[in-house]
Amino acid sequence: MTIGIDVRCLMHKNYSGVAEYTYNLLTHLFKADTQNSYKLFYNSKANVSATLPKFDQSNVKYQGFEYPNKLLNLSFKFFNYPKIDQLIKGADNFFLPNLIFSAISSNCQKIITIHDLSFELFPNFFSYKRNLWHKIINPQKIINNCDKIIAVSQNTKNDLINLYDIPADKIEVVYSGVDQQLYNKINEQTKFKLIKEKYKLPDDFILYLGTIEPRKNIEGIIQAFNLFKEKNKKFKNLKLIIAGDKGWKYKKVFDLAQKSPYKQDIKFIGYVSRQDKPLLYNLAKIFLFPSFYEGFGLPVLEAQACGTPVIAGLNSAFPEILKNSALLVNPDNLNEITQAIKELLTEQALYQELITKGFDNIQNFNWDKTAQETLKILKSQ
């Protein structure tokens, strides 16, 4: 069988959540399957060969094109042409790892992964440009036109059913995994010293790692940190590290940090590479991720794999993937977030309990298992 895969999300150097998902899935998928042929579609006027991952399996081939991207997307949207499966010279099934403009022949089975429907539930969290993009691309139509849908959580499956009226039997829940070879407990002081020097990290800090955008509730994180510092003077050396690329509507976050009475204790360090992230998680006292909504929430599992206790939102997919292995708080309640920070920093038994439960929890999320379950769907007719 020949399976086409859209890998346009892997053309950029800095990976977002979707790119992380796609990279990890394909890495394990190609290790597991040596029988089927894979054609990886991408399109770019620029030379992206240096940033595309190197898959060297004999049954995996890139199929790259150099059409003007905006014109190609317009053609996909308004003319349903050219057909991607025809461009790559044929495929039995075609896999879209995320929502994107595309056109695929009717006789080629289409499978798509949906990570979340946050743009439907919380349009106020997105920029005007991003909301317009979602309106133009028409996610409901794309999803309805696919033969099979992979949801990364039961929460996302429920949203697809409730918001788009997708039949439940058309949707398969396949959890993402955690790369435990990369994310694990590290005890190498030399590496810690180098990473602390690279990012100018303090000895004691709480960590947020993710895109800087409203949905992630970074304003709430800063406000809760202010409240914690105000009420707990003995933690005068505790800092807040905010790591990640700028998304949309990020200026309020920087303005709020600048106006904080503890602004000298709040540090933005920008994008962090895959190789550096495990060290950052290991060094953090707490991983703070009280997002308003997540279709899955991979960073909380990465932190747990590194032995870092997690505070996350009591909403969306978090109760499903974390259960009782983290402190779950109302992201709108600053007192709850502040109290959770205090409990973890002052109650050693609770701190150690969440480390242990975190290690147990991540055993449920394995990329090999994700790849096998996805392969079963990709091969199905």
Domain ranges of the chain: 2-177+366-379, 189-364
pTM: 0.94
pLDDT, residue 15, reads 85
Tell me the pLDDT band of 13, cut-offs 50, 70 and 90.
confident
Burial profile 319-349: b = 16 or more Cβ within 10 angstroms, e = fewer:
ebbbeebbbbbebeebebbbbbbeebbeeee
Structure tokens at 247: 């998304």
pLDDT of 4 > 80? The answer is: yes
Average pLDDT over residues 309-313: 98
Percent of the chain with pLDDT over 90: 96
Sheet holding 205-209, edge to edge: 266-270, 239-243, 205-209, 286-289, 310-313, 327-329
- The amino acid that residue 260 corresponds to is S
Length of the chain: 381
Residues 6+ apart with CB under 8 A from 283: 192, 195, 196, 201, 205, 207
Q: In the structure, what pLDDT confidence band is assigned to residue 16 with cuts at 50, 70 and 90?
A: confident
> How far is it, in rounded angstroms, from Cα 193 to Cα 305?
21
Architecture of the domain delimited by 189-364: 3-Layer(aba) Sandwich (3.40)
Mean pLDDT in the chain?
96
Calculate Rg over the CA atoms of the chain: 21
- Asked if the model's pLDDT at residue 381 lies above 80, the reply is no
Q: Please give the pLDDT value at position 17.
A: 85
Superfamily of domain 2-177+366-379: Glycogen Phosphorylase B; (3.40.50.2000)
For 165-189, write each residue's pLDDT tens digit: 999 999 999 999 999 999 999 999 9
Q: What is the pLDDT of residues 102-154, one digit of tens each?
A: 999 999 999 999 999 999 999 999 989 999 999 999 999 999 999 999 999 99
Equal fold, 2-177+366-379 vs 189-364: yes
Q: What is the pLDDT of residues 326-352, one digit of tens each?
A: 999 999 999 999 999 999 999 999 999
Amino acid at 270: G
Q: What is the pLDDT of residue 25?
A: 97
Burial bucket for residue 370 (CB in 10 Å: 0-12, 13-18, 19+): buried
- At 27-81, the pLDDT tens digits run 999 999 999 999 999 999 999 988 999 999 999 999 999 999 999 999 999 999 9
Q: What percent of the chain has pLDDT over 70?
A: 100
C-alpha distance from residue 347 to each of 170, 247, 266, 300, 350 (Å): 46, 35, 24, 21, 5
User: pLDDT tens for residues 250-267?
Assistant: 999 999 999 999 999 999
pLDDT at 96 over 90: yes
Sheet of 60-65: strand order equals 60-65, 37-43, 2-6, 93-96, 109-114, 148-151, 171-173
Of 29, 24, 4, 5, residue with least CA distance to 372 = 29
Rounded to the nearest 5 degrees, what angle is found at the Cα of 287, between the Cα atoms of 181 and 283?
Answer: 60
